[in-house]
Chain A
Amino acid sequence: MSSSKKSRIVKFKTSDDKTFEVEEAVAVQFETIKSMIDYVCANDCTIPLPNVNAKTLAMVVEWCKKHADERDQLMEVDVDEAPGAVLYDLLVAATYLRVEDLIHRVSQRVSKMVIEIGKLPEEEDVRKTINIKSDFPPQVEEELRKLRRTLGPLSDVLVLFVSSGLLE
C-alpha cells in the first residue's frame, strides 16, 4: 500500500456488539465488503456482522494483515493451533466475509481433523466425535451394518446400495 495516501478506516459491529476499526488495506480483502467500502467511508457507517464475533474477527483481521505483509508466508501456525470450535467460527466468518485464502486454509485444516476421525472404523465414531446425531432410518443403518460385515470396508456396492436406499 502506498503510504502517501492516507489509509481509511472501516468500522464493523460484531455479533457481540463490539465496534471494530479495520484499516482499508485489510478490509479490501473481504470480498463481501470490498464494493461498499467507498460508500461506508464517505458516510461514516458501521457495517454490522451478525454472525461474526469479536474474537473471530480479530483473528481474521490478524490473518489478513500478516498475509498482506508477507505474501509468501501463509502463516500456518495460528490456524493450525486453533481448537475445533475456533476453527468452525473462523470458517463461518471467512465464508461470510469471503476471504478465499482463509477459507481454503481453514477447510484444509478441518478436513485433516475429519480424516483423523475417519481413521476410526465407522461413521458412528465420526458422529460421536463431532456430536452429530444420525438421522438415517434404523432399517438403513441395520442393512449397512450387515453389508459392512459381509463386504468389508466401504465398497462400491455399499455406496450404490446406500444411494438407492436413502433416496427413496
Chain B
Amino acid sequence: MYYFSDHTWLCFINAFCVGTVRVDTVHVRWKSKKDDFIFPFDVFGPDNHRGLQLRRKRFYHTLAIVLELEPNKEVEVAVEAEFLENIVVELDYTANLPDECLASIFHFLSSSDRKQCSLVCHRWFRVDGQNRHRFSLNARAYILYFLPSLFTRFDSMTNLALLRCNWKSNSLNDDALVLISIRCRSLTRLKLRGCRELTKKGVAEFAKNCTGLKKLSVGLCMFGACAMNAILDHCTALEELYVKRLKGLNDSADPIAPAQRVPRSNPSA
C-alpha cells in the first residue's frame, strides 16, 4: 500500500503527466479491482492563468496541488501498487481555450447544436449566451414570464424572430413586446409571424424604444396602419421592411406612409 501526502501527489502527477501539464483541472483516473473512480483536483499555479502551459520541471517546483476533497490539508490515499501503471491522466482541452476561441467554435454550430452545447457546463452556457446574436422564439403568450431571464442570458441579441406555429394558443401580447423593446434596445432585426394579440399600442411603444431597428418583417399580424406609421416615424434607421397579410387596416382611415421622409424600400402591403 502507498500513502500519498500532498507532496508525493505532486511527484506523482509529475511522473505521470507526459509533456506539458495544463493548469486548471487535472483528472486522474484510477483503476482498482473493485471500481474505477476519477479523482479530480485543482491545480493552482503562481499565476493562476487560464491557458498557460507549464513545463513539467517548473510545475514540480512551483505549483501546489490542493485536493478537492479536503483543501489545504494533507490527505492520505491508499492505492495498491500494481495499479499505479493504470493511471490515465485526462485533460479537458477546452479549459485552456480562451472564451473568444470557444465563441468562434460556437459560431459554426447550428442552433440546435448550440442549445445542446450550452448545457454542457456553466462556462459554455455563459459563452454561448454572450455571443449569440440571433434568436428565434415560439411566440406563445407564456414567454412573457421568461423574457427577463432570457434577455439576461442572451445580452447581446440583435436579431430576433417571434414565430408561431400553433394557431389555437394565444400569441404573445403587447406587454411582452414592450418588455423586449426595453430589455433589448440594440435590436436591429425583428421578424413577427402570426402574433395576433399585438395591437397598435404595443407596436408604437416598441418603435419608440428600439429606434435602431434596421429590418422589420411582419406577417399575419393584426395591428394595422397606425402601428406601421409609428414604426416608420420612430425607427429612422430602417433599411428593409417586409409586410405580408397585415390585418386591421380598416380600423383607421390613414394610409401607411411616413410622416416626414421617404423610406428606402417601399412597403408592399
**C-alpha spacing A53/B20, complex, angstroms:** 10
B94, A132: Cβ atoms under 8 Å?
yes
Contact residues in B for A53 (Cβ distance below 8 Å): 20, 53
A154, B115: Cβ atoms under 8 Å?
yes
Contact residues in A for B98 (Cβ distance below 8 Å): 92, 95
Contact residues in A for B101 (Cβ distance below 8 Å): 91-92, 95, 103, 107
A126, B120: Cβ atoms under 8 Å?
yes
Contact residues in B for A63 (Cβ distance below 8 Å): none
Contact residues in A for B121 (Cβ distance below 8 Å): 127, 132-136
A88, B153: Cβ atoms under 8 Å?
no
Contact residues in B for A168 (Cβ distance below 8 Å): 149
B109, A115: Cβ atoms under 8 Å?
yes
Interface: B254 (CB within 8 A): no
Interface: B32 (CB within 8 A): no
A156, B137: Cβ atoms under 8 Å?
yes
Q: Which residue of A lies closest to B108 (CB)?
A: A111
A163, B153: Cβ atoms under 8 Å?
yes
| Other-chain contact of A103, B104, B106, B113, B143 (Cβ < 8 Å) | B104
Interface: A50 (CB within 8 A): yes
A130, B92: Cβ atoms under 8 Å?
yes
Contact residues in B for A1 (Cβ distance below 8 Å): none
**C-alpha spacing A164/B100, complex, angstroms:** 25
Contact residues in A for B105 (Cβ distance below 8 Å): 91, 107, 110-111, 114
**Given A115-B109, A156-B137, are A164 and B149 also a contact pair (CB < 8 Å)?**
yes
Interface string of A145-161 (1 = CB under 8 A from B): 00000000110101111
Interface: B31 (CB within 8 A): no
B: number of interface residues (CB 8 Å):
45
B53, A133: Cβ atoms under 8 Å?
no
Interface string of B93-128 (1 = CB under 8 A from A): 110111011001111111011011111111011000
**C-alpha spacing A82/B155, complex, angstroms:** 35
Interface: B258 (CB within 8 A): no
Contact residues in A for B107 (Cβ distance below 8 Å): 107, 111
Contact residues in A for B52 (Cβ distance below 8 Å): 50-51
A131, B117: Cβ atoms under 8 Å?
no
B120, A92: Cβ atoms under 8 Å?
no
Interface residues of A in 88-126 (CB under 8 A from B): 88, 91-92, 95, 103-104, 107-108, 110-112, 114-115, 118, 122-123, 126
**Given A51-B51, A92-B98, A123-B117, are A154 and B112 also a contact pair (CB < 8 Å)?**
yes
Q: Which residue of B lies closest to A130 (CB)?
A: B94
B122, A135: Cβ atoms under 8 Å?
yes
Contact residues in B for A92 (Cβ distance below 8 Å): 51, 96-98, 101
Interface: B48 (CB within 8 A): no
B149, A163: Cβ atoms under 8 Å?
yes
Interface: B269 (CB within 8 A): no
Contact residues in B for A111 (Cβ distance below 8 Å): 105-109
**Given A15-B53, A51-B53, A134-B120, are A160 and B112 also a contact pair (CB < 8 Å)?**
no
Q: Which residue of A lies closest to B20 (CB)?
A: A53
Closest 5 CB pairs of A and B: A111-B108, A164-B149, A88-B93, A107-B104, A160-B146
Q: List 29 A-B contacts (CB under 8 A).
A: A51-B53, A53-B53, A85-B93, A92-B96, A95-B101, A95-B104, A103-B104, A107-B107, A107-B108, A111-B106, A111-B108, A115-B109, A118-B113, A123-B117, A127-B120, A130-B92, A130-B93, A130-B94, A131-B90, A131-B92, A132-B94, A133-B27, A133-B40, A133-B121, A134-B121, A162-B118, A162-B119, A163-B153, A167-B153
A residues within 8 Å of B by Cβ? 15-16, 50-51, 53, 84-85, 88, 91-92, 95, 103-104, 107-108, 110-112, 114-115, 118, 122-123, 126-127, 130-136, 144, 153-154, 156, 158-164, 166-168
Task: List 18 extra interface pairs beyond A88-B96, A164-B149, CB under 8 A.
Answer: A53-B20, A85-B91, A91-B105, A104-B104, A107-B104, A107-B108, A110-B105, A114-B117, A123-B119, A123-B120, A126-B116, A126-B117, A132-B94, A133-B25, A154-B115, A154-B116, A163-B149, A164-B150
